[in-house]
Chain A
Amino acid sequence: AQTVTQSQPEMSVQEAETVTLSCTYDTSESDYYLFWYKQPPSRQMILVIRQEAYKQQNATENRFSVNFQKAAKSFSLKISDSQLGDAAMYFCAHGAGSQGNLIFGKGTKLSVKP
């Protein structure tokens, strides 16, 4: 069975600084996908970034980038130039071609200090 582990329940970063959120996963799938979702207090889950496992290049979206280490089954999220609006819960998730649903980690609460 697939599992997703986020070992940092809470993180804090100074505005304009860089922070990295950790995620490790376990899977027996060869065709899988990894996601980071952001959930602000409004509770709307918002896609931050997506990575296909077959791609060696790390995905980037503006200030957000990932460090995908396939052999180590690690998928960390780096947020550069942190902004107050980045404060939220961040969830790492695993999806596979053989299953419909995503498997989520328990989340990391990110605080941004002005």
Chain B
Amino acid sequence: GAGVSQSPSNKVTEKGKDVELRCDPISGHTALYWYRQSLGQGLEFLIYFQGNSAPDKSGLPSDRFSAERTGGSVSTLTIQRTQQEDSAVYLCASSLVGSRETQYFGPGTRLLVL
């Protein structure tokens, strides 16, 4: 079946602009995760959605970052007033139920803030 998809694949923006990154999880997966990968680094957790529960936002680095998940499926990560340090690859993953299940990743969105 189809895997996790993300769009856009690449995004170039100017400092101060807002950006929206989209994630479409595997059909039937109730858990969805956003991670950030800065150049040459491991993955940094941002936010986790599980079904209809309140999301775990503990990894969001500032209030400029927000995410929503509509209808338990597609998720959008929004970065307001982008800064150069926001430049990174943003990876989305989904899993069948939650934390005990394997997470499957999308191809990521590479964000470059000029």
What is the interface of chain A, defined by CB distance below 8 A to chain B?
4, 33, 35, 37, 42-47, 50, 91, 93, 95-107
- Cβ of B67 under 8 Å from chain A: no
B91 contacts A105, C-beta separation under 8 Å: no
Q: Would you give 18 A-B contacts (Cβ < 8 Å), ordered by A?
A: A4-B42, A43-B89, A43-B108, A44-B105, A47-B104, A91-B42, A93-B43, A95-B99, A95-B100, A96-B99, A97-B100, A99-B99, A100-B98, A101-B33, A102-B43, A104-B43, A107-B41, A107-B42
Residues of chain B in range 11-43 having any CB-CB distance to chain A below 8 Å: 31, 33, 35, 37, 41-43
Given contacts A37-B105, A45-B105, 6 further A-B contacts (CB under 8 A): A33-B100, A100-B48, A101-B33, A101-B45, A101-B48, A106-B41
Report how far A100 CA is from B29 CA in the complex, Å: 14
Taking CB atoms, residues of chain B closer than 8 Å to A42 are 107
Query: In the complex, which of the residues A42, A102, A104, A107 has the most CB atoms of chain B within 10 Å of its own CB atom?
Result: A102
- Cβ of B61 under 8 Å from chain A: no
- Cβ of B50 under 8 Å from chain A: yes
B100 contacts A44, C-beta separation under 8 Å: no
Taking CB atoms, residues of chain A closer than 8 Å to B8 are none
Taking the closest CB of chain A, its distance from the CB of B111, in whole angstroms, is 13
Taking CB atoms, residues of chain B closer than 8 Å to A47 are 102, 104
B56 contacts A101, C-beta separation under 8 Å: yes
**Given known A44-B108, A91-B43, contact A102–B100 (CB-CB < 8 A):** no
Taking the closest CB of chain B, its distance from the CB of A51, in whole angstroms, is 11
- Cβ of B83 under 8 Å from chain A: no
Residues of chain B in range 68-114 having any CB-CB distance to chain A below 8 Å: 89, 91, 93, 98-100, 102-108, 110
Closest to B45 in A: A101
